[in-house]
Structure 1
């Protein structure tokens, strides 16, 4: 059993509300959300590293792996989705995101802007100035603690 953080709940909520073709899309989306504001946000991920496929966060990947291990999330062919067990856990913990409604609204805004399209999200990541300044393998946000 794992201890759920607000970030775990955020990932579950995203998977309830949207269809993600892969974990990579989730990484790229949450990079854009973290990069959208100049000030650091409490729920955001800031340990992103630039890869050939976009942004990658070890923390986010660890959360996804923990959710898979607990059978709350499954990765099927071209789809990352929450299970019934995951929905049940989210129902019990979802209220913890209330304090972070501004962050959640930003997630919705970015998903809606790119219509959940993996290619559009990835393209936006590669055009983001903060992402472009980092070389492959380097941390993207150089002003944060990793």
Structure 2
């Protein structure tokens, strides 16, 4: 999968670093970046979680929004408490409980959405059209 996406990633990086004006309407969004944004993420933090989208690199595996919520909450806890963060932490446990309740205990992106995303545009369009909207909102609040 990495071999298939690497040329696109390099092209996107080169385009992103070019001095030309960017068409803001063509910017990709994802479940992971939206949860992170709604949890107060910086642009850099949103970029860091972007690869979780569609189930780790659009693989359909574990939910990228859940991954982003756990990462953001863990980062906040680490910054606040300056110590090792455990998944047994009540804040993280709450994220899992909320997620399982909302998804009916489904964890795979493809099972939750009923879709396989083949491109970033497919996933972006799904999110822009309200896909997983209620899940993204509850994760951002948990």
Under a length normalisation based on structure 1, what TM-score does the superposition of the two structures give? 0.26
Q: Which structure has the larger Rg?
A: 2
Structure with a larger share of its residues in helix: 2
Under a length normalisation based on structure 2, what TM-score does the superposition of the two structures give? 0.26
